[in-house]
A and B are shown apart, each in its own frame.
Chain A
Amino acid sequence: MALIETVNLCQRYGGQYVLKDVNLKVDRGEVFGLIGPTGAGKTTLLRLIDLIDTPSSGKIYFDGVDTAASGKLRFELRRRMAFVLQKPVVFNASVYDNVACGLRWRRVGKRATRQKVEDMLEMVGLSAYKDRNARSLSGGEAQRVAIARAMVVEPEVLLLDEPTANLDPVSAATVEELIARIIERRAVTVVMTTHDMSQGQRLADRIGVLMDGSVLQTGAPREVFSFPRSRRVAEFVGVENIIDGVIVSNEDGLVSVDAGGKTIQAVSALAAGERVCACVRPEDVILAVSPPSSSARNMFAGEITRLVSAGSIARVEMDCGFPLSVLVTKRSVDELGLEKGKRVYASFKATAVHIITKGKAD
């Protein structure tokens, strides 16, 4: 049985659906990442899960219990969770008092409180700041206080709302490392939101893609990243080459996709006549300056329209009837003499193409 389950969960504000029919299951001990662009409804969903807000319609089950039963039940269930809000808010009190508050509200004894708070401060690396006013801390330190304050009550569920979104890169890395350590202990179920796909990949066991209030896809990070089920998910998870086309034939699972005059071959069960997107990852494309003799099913000639270097990697954008992005090493750029305007040959395997259906063509 799932620890948290939402059934047709909807939230409306002023007639507008912010969440629409969200069905999610999170198992005990799992790290579930909720990714989606700003405004997708991630915060709204976490607030519902934490039972701070009540949904317009739909159900939330916690450990099999319908949370709508009573206010008292919701309060008791909320005490089994802890929520780190998107904007780290610390109370105008010492770091120690900030971390201790959850224990005091639960009437934990003074000595136990001291022990737990000190252990937790040690874990987040803020023992030396114990007596400082939490308002005087930097953003990253405040976020660590917020995490310590949530974890000190030993919640069954930890909800994290974009824990690194408002931090500088160094603080963000520290906070992410802290979260990774918490996750490693496996004592807590985590639901975290992020608009950073790669963070979701690094931390989550499973991710859900939330867009415009709907969950478009859930699955292992690798799976969502490699096999997005819709164009919007593909765009959001950072698939760079998304080529529109129509399937013209399917021979034993090998399809030919007509993309504006060019034919891309891919592996798919879809039948001819289906409108699709062909997704090709830039790192799966091989560039050459003369026609290659490789076994790759797809080979296109074209001119380089742009070349951007970033460290040891360079991104080559070319026009081969459709725009194509390719990642190559800086070394290849030098060896092949790649530059803007140069004619090159791009090749990739049929199995490197992921086909997304858009429905039947008219």
Chain B
Amino acid sequence: MAEIWNGFIRAIELIISLDPEVMEIAGRSLMISVTSALLAWAICMPLASLIHFNRFLGKRALINLIQTFYSVPTVVIGLFVFVLFSRAGPLGGFNIMFTPAVMVVGQTLLITPVLLGLTISALSGVDKSIVDTARSLGASGLQAAFVVVKESRFAVVAAVVMGFGRAISEVGVALMVGGNIKGFTRVITTAISLETSKGDLELSIALGIILIIIALAINLALNRIQQRS
């Protein structure tokens, strides 16, 4: 009990003193997950628009398919990316295994289905009369579509924030393709899952607290965004 308590006190000290190792790991976590979230947004926004604004056979089925990928296990994505980028894999030539780059690829892949699904529902959530209004005021089809995208912006930002939340809190992909290499690919979740067993309790607790703070900040942000839309 005393050991946990001491670990907790020292963890607080680590955070307050802006311990270089803690800050470096937290910073890398943020960097990788923010990049993943933005990359996923860059993929999902046009893709979702394409799906939403076009009528085609199997649209409903496609959206259902996307939704089934919402809860794909992180280790499955990890395995998939591992096979893809390992030396013998089809994309092995990129030689990015166990680098932050491949972690970004993995996390982007992980959150793309959720982000795509949520972006599509953000677009469909825009009142149909918005399109009519735009068209009646002389907007072309493309201009009207832009209006809808603009109207959906708060819901889309909320989706991106949620995607970021999922990315920063997952451990499967980061561990399998990142490898928890100290000073290079070690992020909050991989550090906690591996350093705890090695006895570095204070580092784990400090990182855990930071992760909780980030989660709180995400929730706060989501609430604010929801109020605006």
Closest-by-CB residue of A relative to B152 is A92
Given the interface pairs A89-B127, A91-B147, the reply to whether A105 lies near B139 with Cβ below 8 Å is yes
Residues of chain B contacted by A102 (CB below 8 angstroms): 137-138
Residues of chain B contacted by A105 (CB below 8 angstroms): 137-140, 143
Residues of chain B contacted by A116 (CB below 8 angstroms): none
Asked if A79 and B138 make an inter-chain contact with CB atoms under 8 angstroms apart, the answer reads yes
Asked if A85 and B137 make an inter-chain contact with CB atoms under 8 angstroms apart, the answer reads no
Interface residues on A, range: 20 to 34
Q: Counting CB contacts under 8 A, is A211 at the interface?
A: no
Contacting A at CB under 8 A, from B90-143, are 127, 129-130, 132-140, 143
Given the interface pairs A91-B147, A91-B150, A92-B151, the reply to whether A85 lies near B132 with Cβ below 8 Å is yes
Query: A231 to B159, alpha carbons, bound, how many Å?
Result: 58
Given the interface pairs A52-B132, A89-B127, the reply to whether A101 lies near B140 with Cβ below 8 Å is no
Q: Counting CB contacts under 8 A, is A20 at the interface?
A: no
Query: A102 to B143, alpha carbons, bound, how many Å?
Result: 10
Asked if B136 and A106 make an inter-chain contact with CB atoms under 8 angstroms apart, the answer reads no
Contacting B at CB under 8 A, from A72-110, are 75, 78-79, 81-83, 85, 87, 89, 91-93, 101-102, 105-106
Q: A61-81: contact bitstring with B at CB < 8 Å (1 yes, 0 no)?
A: 000000000000001001101
Residues of B participating in the A interface, judged by any CB pair closer than 8 Å: 127, 129-130, 132-140, 143, 147, 150-151, 154, 229
Asked if A75 and B151 make an inter-chain contact with CB atoms under 8 angstroms apart, the answer reads no
Closest-by-CB residue of A relative to B127 is A89
Asked if A82 and B130 make an inter-chain contact with CB atoms under 8 angstroms apart, the answer reads no
Query: Which residue, A47, A101, A149, has most C-beta atoms of chain B within 10 A?
Result: A101
Q: Counting CB contacts under 8 A, is A150 at the interface?
A: yes
Asked if A52 and B135 make an inter-chain contact with CB atoms under 8 angstroms apart, the answer reads yes
Q: How far is the CB of A156 from chain B (nearest CB, A)?
A: 12
Q: A171-207: contact bitstring with B at CB < 8 Å (1 yes, 0 no)?
A: 0000000000000000000000000000000000000
Contacting B at CB under 8 A, from A246-275, are none
Q: How far is the CB of A131 from chain B (nearest CB, A)?
A: 16
Residues of chain B contacted by A150 (CB below 8 angstroms): 136-137
Residues of chain A contacted by B133 (CB below 8 angstroms): 85, 89, 91, 146
Q: How far is the CB of A178 from chain B (nearest CB, A)?
A: 18
Q: How far is the CB of A266 from chain B (nearest CB, A)?
A: 47
Given the interface pairs A91-B147, A92-B151, the reply to whether A106 lies near B138 with Cβ below 8 Å is yes
Query: A105 to B139, alpha carbons, bound, how many Å?
Result: 6
Query: A89 to B133, alpha carbons, bound, how many Å?
Result: 7
What are 18 A-B contacts with C-beta separation under 8 Å? A50-B136, A81-B136, A83-B137, A85-B129, A85-B132, A85-B133, A87-B129, A89-B130, A91-B130, A92-B150, A92-B151, A92-B154, A101-B137, A101-B139, A101-B147, A105-B139, A149-B137, A159-B136
